[in-house]
Structures are given as C-alpha cells and as structure tokens.
Amino acid sequence: MSKKHPIISVTGSSGAGTSTVKHTFDQIFRREGVNAVSIEGDAFHRFNRKDMKSELDRQYAGGNVGFSHFSFEANELKELEKVFSQYGETGTGRTRHYVHDADEAEKYGVPPGEFTDWAPFEDGSDLLFYEGLHGSVVNDDVNIARHADLKIGVVPVINLEWIQKIHRDKEKRGYTTEAITDVILRRMYAYVHCICPQFTETDINFQRVPVVDTSNPFVARWIPTPDESLVVIRFRNPRGIDFSYLVSMIHGSWMSRANSIVIPGGKLDLAMQLILTPMINRLVSESKRA
Ligand SMILES: Nc1ncnc2c1ncn2[C@@H]1O[C@H](COP(=O)(O)OP(=O)(O)OP(=O)(O)O)[C@@H](O)[C@H]1O
Ligand SMILES: O=C(CO)[C@H](O)[C@H](O)COP(=O)(O)O
C-alpha cells in the first residue's frame, strides 16, 4: 500500500472481462483528470508462445499436468511484485506487452506470441493500474495483494466466463473451439489453486450471472448480453459503503446480503462509476497530501 503512489489492481481469469472493465476505469480517469499508467498481467508471462509450448511439453513429460498460464511458476510474479513495490515507493517502474493477435502485432510491431521490449512508465502519473490474472496473489514467494490500495475481482460465474473466453478467443485470436476447450481443461488445476484464492483478497468483486440457460457453454452461439444478466457486487469491508444511496441510484438493484448488492447487468457501468469514482478520487487526493 502506498499513500503517495497508489495502485489499483483488477484481477480476473482469461475472458472474465478485465479488459472490458478497464474501459470503465479509463472513462473515470479521463473524466476526473487522473493520469494513470497501465500494465497488463500478460506482460508478466514467463515465456513467449513458442517457449511456453516447449515448457508445457517438458512439464507434462515430468508429470506436472497442472502447469499452465494460470500457474504461479509460468509468470514473473517476483518481477510483478517488484514493479508494484517500486511504483509504490517512487512512482516509477516498467512494463512490456505480450502480443496476442494480428491487431496487437500491428500496434506494437512484434509478431503474435512475442513480447515487446520493457519500457519505463511515463513520469508524473497519479496512480498505477494493473489488469490481469495475478493482481492479488499471496503465496510463499510473493505478496502482490499487499501493494495494491484498491483490489477489484472480475469473476463471472464459470459457464459465462467460458462462453466469454470461447467467443473472444475464436473471434479475436483465431483459435478453434476444440483448442480453447483443451486450454480450459489444462488450466483447471491452476484455476482452483492460483486464480480463485485471490478473490478473498480483493476489496470488491463483480460477479456477472446470466439469467439465460448457459448449461452447455461449449455450444453457446453468443455471449449473454448485459440485459440477460445480473451482477452481484460484494464488498469485503462494507463499512463506509452507502448501500441505500447505491440502491436508490441503481434502478432495479437490491441488497442480497449485508455486504452485497445485486444489479441488472445493463447497470454495471453506472454501478462501477458510482462505486469507484469516489474511491479513486480519495486515493489521488490522499496521494497529493502525502
Ligand atoms: N459485462 C459484459 N457484458 C457482456 N460481454 C462482456 C462483458 N464483459 C466481458 N464481455 C465479453 O467477454 C469477452 C472477454 O472479455 P475481455 O476481453 O474483457 O476479457 P479479459 O478478462 O480481458 O481476458 P484476457 O485477460 O484473457 O485478455 C469479450 O468478448 C467481451 O466483450
Ligand atoms: O489471455 C491469456 C491469459 O490471460 C492468454 O491465454 C495467454 O496470454 C496466452 O496467450 P496465447 O495462448 O494466445 O499465446
């Protein structure tokens, strides 16, 4: 945690919607005049695509069938913790990009499956924004969660997460349903052991729940729309959260527990703006006073 150089981390599995949530944060940053530097979790993969394939073969041959991109050891988590820690102390740091597809290859000038070079953050930012797989990890080697001042979990129920992943990976990244299904299966061990535990560390979780039948996610023809879903918003520490204000502002919402509200899926953007804007403003104004 850093009063002077705050960090926001948004954590979610592959296809959960963290990139989508980043757009909402970007809108808040623009509107509130907050200068944020952003990093993507995939930048901290340990291997490029080709080397990951070799490493997977090597791990499988050695009997480690739980190895995947979700695994701690497939990512440079010490480097990520160092970036968080350095940013918290000095407001400086560095990142790079993992290039997934042709569009990103054109944008960054390196082929799909490769990393760009590391580059330093711009000077003078107000906060650091992380979005990816491992923003709230606590294990024997690293404690990334302790460096972040606001930790968000993006966690659709799993059938929906799979539908979102399958559609995104097919349309944007050119994979087949069979290849994506294979990846989902191979990642299951690390999903349970490396991804899920983070959502007890996060301050607020946004869980999208479809209200249409998603019982066979592998044949779903489209992603359930916002109007075909609800979102459960759970606060780790509900003290200071003005639930009656939120329920009155978000038409159709209700409290389901003392620390949780449920909103119509179409109100997610509004809810995020109402909940997060004062939190972001507080982080920035406290940092200017520190
Ligand atoms: N609230 C939402 N309503 C409808 N569709 C959504 C929502 N959130 C995400 N999606 C869809 O789900 C897919 C995956 O979302 P997104 O790319 O944001 O995931 P991600 O968590 O960033 O994945 P990765 O980390 O693997 O890049 C996209 O097609 C996106 O449009
Ligand atoms: O989004 C992901 C994880 O968050 C990808 O699955 C990961 O970055 C590997 O990508 P690829 O299989 O395309 O090389």
pLDDT by residue (tens digit) across 19-31?
999 999 999 999 9
Identify the pLDDT of residue 289.
Answer: 87
> What does pTM read for this prediction?
0.96
The 10s digit of each residue's pLDDT in 91-116 is 999 999 999 999 999 999 999 999 99
Q: Per-residue pLDDT averaged across 3-15, rounded? A: 95
- If one residue of 51, 69, 185 were mutated to test the ligand 2 pocket, choosing by the most ligand atoms within 8 A of its CB, it would be 69
Is the separation of the CB atoms in 100 and 172 below 8 Å? yes
Side chain identity at residue 112, one-letter code: P
| Whole-number Å distance between alpha carbons of 137 and 89 | 20
Identify the pLDDT of residue 178.
Answer: 95
CA torsion angle 19 21 27 32 (round to 10): -120
Percent of the chain at pLDDT exceeding 70: 100
How far is ligand 1, taken at its centre, from the CA of residue 119, in Å? 26
Identify the pLDDT of residue 119.
Answer: 98
How far is ligand 2, taken at its centre, from the CA of residue 100, in Å? 7
Is the separation of the CB atoms in 205 and 156 below 8 Å? no
Is residue 176 predicted with pLDDT exceeding 80?
A: yes
Whole-number mean pLDDT of the chain?
96
Q: Which of 201, 15, 35, 197 is nearest to 129 (CA)?
A: 35
Ligand 2 pocket residue status of 238, Cβ below 6 Å: no
Ligand 2 pocket residue status of 46, Cβ below 6 Å: no
Is residue 237 predicted with pLDDT exceeding 80?
A: yes
Is the dihedral angle over the CA atoms 206, 209, 210, 211 positive or is it negative?
negative
Is residue 1 predicted with pLDDT exceeding 80?
A: no
The 10s digit of each residue's pLDDT in 57-76 is 999 999 999 999 999 999 99
Is residue 214 predicted with pLDDT exceeding 80?
A: yes
Ligand 1 pocket residue status of 226, Cβ below 6 Å: yes
Is the separation of the CB atoms in 76 and 18 below 8 Å? no
Tell me the CA distances in angstroms from 139 to 103, 113, 136, 195, one per residue in order: 35, 28, 10, 12
